[in-house]
Amino acid sequence: MSTETASVQHREAPRSSAPAPLTWWAGIASIALGVGAGELTAALVAPESSPFAVIGDALVDAAPTWAKDTAIALFGTADKIALFVGIAIVALVLAALAGWLESRRSPWGMAIIAAFGVSGVLAAITRADAGPLAWIPSVVAAIAAGVMLGVLSRMLRPRAAAAAASESPTQSEDAPGTADRRTFFLWAGGATAAGIVATIAGSTVHATTRATSSIRQALTLPAAARAVAAPPASAELGISGLAPVVTPTSQFYRIDTALIVPDLAPADWSLRIYGMVEQEVTITWDELLALPLEESYTTLSCVSNPVGGDLIGNAKWLGYPIRELLARAKPTADADMVLSRSIDGFTASTPLEVLTDDRNSILAVGMNDEPLPAEHGFPVRMVVPGLYGYVSATKWVTELKVTRFDQDRAYWSDRGWSERGPIKLQSRIDVPRRNQGLSAGETVIAGVAWHPHVGVSKVEVQIDGGAWREASLATAISDDTWVQWSIPWTAEPGDHAIRCRATNALGETQTEVDAFPAPDGATGWQQLNISVG
């Protein structure tokens, strides 16, 4: 019995008793090299298949709704950075574990690397936009990491065991010579550095080779057949700290599930309208641009925007009415929904009537007088006044399926959010800024209010639970946009609570009842606590 055990042990790879931190480093250096090799390969052969991003994307899709909601609530538009940091931390821990296991319980370290490789390949090839080479970056990453882990772990093994015919039997089995250690540090350091350099190089190459960035820059959109008047001067109160009535594109919030921004060239873009229609319609980029395009101002809001939050913006859009394209396709009488789909598989369910009534529901190609930025849907997205983005504002849109709510469900409806998402009446205090020290005296309170496609008729402000006072409204660009408001205030020293509430064009006042963003948008009155010195 004991001999049997001994012989079994003999057949196993020799165990290293190198200090644990060195085994961790062996794992981290190997994974770093693998990630670098994978990112660089992806940049060169299959940009949509970066192992890091495809695994991240798969996690986004698989993550429970509460995790996504929490991420958006905690990090807002920085949710992607937070996710990347989270993945990096988990990867570091797993890498250290792989290094330790390979040294102490070989081949379990290799098994972890293989699992990484397999997850990367699966995540890459199951993407909606996967190309034929999608599997390559993860395979390259796993091979690079595996080979390096093999090399580094061998260096950590006792010399006598690693090389059965060792020529220096005097050397203790448990203490590799300093020469071995030096070689290990050299290799591990080199692999870590190479991995970091390759990762940076890969993302730089990727950023500069985005096929569409130069195309976008060279693009001039046609002039609008129906231009919109510039906002009246009275629409912009020009108060410092107050959100400008037209949000500069660089400040426009961004929310989507895409870790890799789709790289969709206009020449490769087309939109297919199918499903419950009499006539399938396909339209190309050139055909779309040849149509009479219209300008409109529309405020977009994310359903995850909390009371007082900034996941909202207002832009000037250029596009073609979806109503006209649907008229060509002729939806059948029993259809009640359009399921729009983006190139990367996101879907939104929009009530058919919202796309066929007379509002400015458009296939947009321009944002604030420029082609859409990649992150905001280049080359074509939907913009629909009055609905939250998750049920209407599909970016990189390539398909409109005319269907029924009882037959199809969209991405977020499958994850517990409401199937329909009209934007709720809301108001926000921008000035004074939170955490801004305010000195006593004459000042101003200002903010924005919105009920897109309904319109805002009044905003009131209450200080320290006193009487509601009516603020003055700037001129609204239209009922489809937010409107600025302001009210003078004589700030007395001490702590104050400022609240605001809006009334819409129908005479309904914003509800005081607090509701979370899920499942169909936050409600309640914002309260700003401020101390005046």
Ligand X SMILES: Nc1nc2c(c(=O)[nH]1)N[C@H]1C(S)=C(S)[C@@H](COP(=O)(O)O)O[C@H]1N2
Which of 252, 285, 320, 485 contacts ligand X by CB under 6 A? 252
Near ligand X by CB under 6 A, which window of 211-219, 246-254, 330-338, 513-521?
A: 246-254
Q: Give the side-chain half-sphere CA count within 13 A for 413.
A: 18
Min separation Cβ 521 and ligand X, Å:
11
Q: What angle do CA 506, 455, 488 make, to 5 degrees?
A: 100
> Applying CB under 6 A, does 338 fall inside the site for ligand X?
no
Sheet holding 469-470, edge to edge: 469-470, 456-463, 494-504, 527-532
Minimal CB distance residue for ligand X: 389
State the binding partner of 49 from ligand X, Mo ion, none, CB within 5 to 8 A by kind: none
Min separation Cβ 417 and ligand X, Å:
9
CB 407 within 8 A of CB 394: no
Which of 117, 389, 422, 524 contacts Mo ion by CB under 5 A? 389
CB 521 within 8 A of CB 423: yes
Site pattern 472..501 for ligand X (x: CB under 6 A): ------------------------------
Q: What three-state secondary structure class fits 201?
A: helix
CB 425 within 8 A of CB 508: yes
Cα–Cα distances (Å) from 286 to 128, 270, 332, 338, 365, in that order, read: 24, 9, 28, 24, 12
Restricting to residues 398-437, which ones interact with Mo ion according to CB under 5 A? none
Distance CA 366, CA 221 (A): 7
Distance CA 193, CA 180 (A): 20
Cα–Cα distances (Å) from 231 to 43, 160, 360, 369, in that order, read: 43, 81, 17, 14
Min separation Cβ 390 and ligand X, Å:
4
> Applying CB under 6 A, does 106 fall inside the site for ligand X?
no
- DSSP code at position 220: -
Min separation Cβ 40 and ligand X, Å:
27
Minimal CB distance residue for Mo ion: 302
Residue number, 273 or 423, with CB nearest to Mo ion: 423
Which of 50, 103, 257, 503 contacts ligand X by CB under 6 A? 257
Min separation Cβ 327 and Mo ion, Å:
28
Per-position DSSP letters for 354-399, written without gaps between them = HHHSSS--EEEEEETTEEPPGGGTTT-EEE-TTB-GGGT--SSEEE
Min separation Cβ 451 and Mo ion, Å:
17
> Applying CB under 6 A, does 253 fall inside the site for ligand X?
yes
> Applying CB under 6 A, does 396 fall inside the site for ligand X?
yes
Min separation Cβ 313 and ligand X, Å:
6
> Applying CB under 6 A, does 342 fall inside the site for ligand X?
yes
Site pattern 278..307 for ligand X (x: CB under 6 A): ----------------------x-x-----
Near Mo ion by CB under 5 A, which window of 151-159, 251-259, 335-343, 448-456?
A: 251-259
Restricting to residues 358-387, which ones interact with ligand X according to CB under 6 A? 376
> Applying CB under 5 A, does 461 fall inside the site for Mo ion?
no
Residue written as token pair 């789909």:
341
Residue written as token pair 């400022």:
498
Q: What three-state secondary structure class fits 477?
A: coil
> Applying CB under 6 A, does 320 fall inside the site for ligand X?
no
Min separation Cβ 380 and ligand X, Å:
11
State the binding partner of 254 from ligand X, Mo ion, none, CB within 5 to 8 A by kind: ligand X
Q: Which amino acid is at 126?
A: T
State the binding partner of 24 from Mo ion, ligand X, none, CB within 5 to 8 A by kind: none
CB 127 within 8 A of CB 346: no
Which of 216, 395, 401, 451 contacts ligand X by CB under 6 A? 395
Residue number, 253 or 485, with CB nearest to Mo ion: 253
Residue number, 309 or 366, with CB nearest to Mo ion: 309
Distance CA 25, CA 31 (A): 10
Cα–Cα distances (Å) from 225 to 12, 16, 360, in that order, read: 76, 75, 14
Per-position DSSP letters for 304-360, written without gaps between them = TPPTT---EEEEEEEEEEHHHHHHHH-B-TT--EEEEEETTS-EEEEEHHHHHSSS-
| C-alpha torsion 140→144→145→151, nearest 10 | 160
Min separation Cβ 480 and Mo ion, Å:
18
Which of 390, 417, 485, 525 contacts Mo ion by CB under 5 A? 390
Given the rule CB under 5 A, which residues bind Mo ion?
255, 302, 389-390
Given the rule CB under 6 A, which residues bind ligand X?
252-258, 300, 302, 342, 346, 376, 389-390, 393-396
